[in-house]
Amino acid sequence: MKNAEAVTFGGSHLDRAAELRPKWSDMLDEGQGDAVVLWRGKPLLLNDKLVRVRLDDAILADTKVPPIFLGRDGETRLFAADISAWTPEDQDMLSVGNFVDQSLQAHPLAPEGAAFAELRQVMSRLSARDAELIATAKAIYEWHRTHRFCSKCGSESRMDMGGWERACVACGGKHFPRTDPVVIMLITRGNQVLMGRSHFWPEGMYSLLAGFVEPGETIEAAVRREVYEESGIRVGQVDYLSSQPWPFPNSLMFGCHGAALNSDITIDPNELEDAFWVSREEIMLAFSGEHPKIKPARKGSIAHFLLQRWLADALD
């Protein structure tokens, strides 16, 4: 698909400077560079831009793990720092970590007006560079948080290579950040697209069907299996359209177009709460907020992107 990388998190040609990763400790000792800041997966933002602080900024005093190395922006070395150990006082903490977290946390050492915000709330407003930086940082930190122990011998491993490896001192094992492949599919039949919703989604939210690719499976096979399992719809031709890193927590979405071979829907009630065929005209109504039932997939999601391209007849 033309301009497939225009999707949110579609990348900014960041120079990841992998050749500098072995020099990580030296780079941290030198203290030269800027860091974007995360707190419990939420980026620190000011006016929809990532706040960059110097590596010796006092706000990084709450860092329990070393800043990870993201790459190079001109001559500037870019890092990400996680200050999740900080405990905000007198702030809205009830919804932190929820699917819809609209709370903001202001750090006393951050610039005036800056706050930690849930990435889904702001992702469509970020620059391509900021989106790539924060998607990378969030996914890497989440991987470290959930992979502290060596999967070969069970010993605690340690962060290495700028955060792009975990090394096990006990057995010599090396472990690398994981990305989970997920297919998400625009399934069409004539003028209609298949939309569904999961249990526990915000009221009225419908999106394209999606599911994890299983071992031993192609992307095309995963599209056909997931759609059949969830909705009883058989899919014929499958075409790849666009991909999107999705750091919630570690996925890579493969956006595909599939042609439905039948139209009678039988949902799997364990997977879906509802699914139905929706016409282009209804999707347009949903995008303008005027559909009585459907709130469309969130802006910034690849589902939203693919639906827009479909409406514009621009899948090629």
Interface contacts to Zn ion, rule CB under 5 A: 150, 152-153, 155, 168, 170-171, 173
Neighbours of 302 (CB within 10 A): 28
Please report which residue ranges of the chain form alpha helices under DSSP H: 24-30, 119-122, 128-146, 219-231, 280-287, 302-311
The alpha carbon torsion through 156, 157, 162, 165 (nearest 10 deg) reads: -140
Cβ nearer to Zn ion, comparing 168 with 283? 168
> Closest CB to Zn ion among 151 and 218?
151
Nearer to Zn ion, 53 or 150 (CB): 150
Of the pair 148, 293, the CB lying nearest Zn ion is at 148
Q: Which is nearer to Zn ion, 106 or 159 (CB)?
A: 159
Least distance to Zn ion, CB of residue 58, Å:
36
- Rounded to the nearest whole angstrom, what is the least distance from the CB of residue 167 to Zn ion in the complex? 9
Task: Give the three-state DSSP class for 220.
Answer: helix
* 12: exposed, middle or buried (Cβ count in 10 Å: 0-12, 13-18, 19+): middle
3-class SS shares of the chain: helix, strand, coil, % to 5: 25, 30, 45
Give me the least distance between CB of 24 and Zn ion, in Å please: 21
CB of 152 to Zn ion, least distance (A): 4
Q: CB within 8 A of 132, min separation 6: which ones?
A: 9, 11, 12, 14
In the complex, the smallest distance separating the C-beta of residue 200 from Zn ion, rounded to whole angstroms, is 37
The Cα–Cα gap between 13 and 93 comes to 35
Number of C-beta neighbours around residue 214 at 10 A: 11
The nearer residue to Zn ion, 173 or 211, going by C-beta atoms, is: 173
Q: How far apart are CA 186 and CA 65, in angstroms?
A: 40
Q: How far is the CB of 168 from Zn ion (least distance, A)?
A: 3
Residue 115 carries which DSSP code? E
Question: Strands (DSSP E) along 88-206, which ranges?
Answer: 115-116, 158-160, 165-167, 174-175, 180-189, 192-197
**CA gap 79, 33 in Å, rounded:** 7
User: Measured from the CB of residue 136, what is the shortest distance to Zn ion in angstroms?
Assistant: 26
Pick 155 or 218: Cβ nearer Zn ion: 155
Between 85 and 171, CB nearer to Zn ion: 171
The CA dihedral of 302, 306, 312, 315, to the nearest 10 degrees, is: 130
CB 149, min distance to Zn ion, A: 8
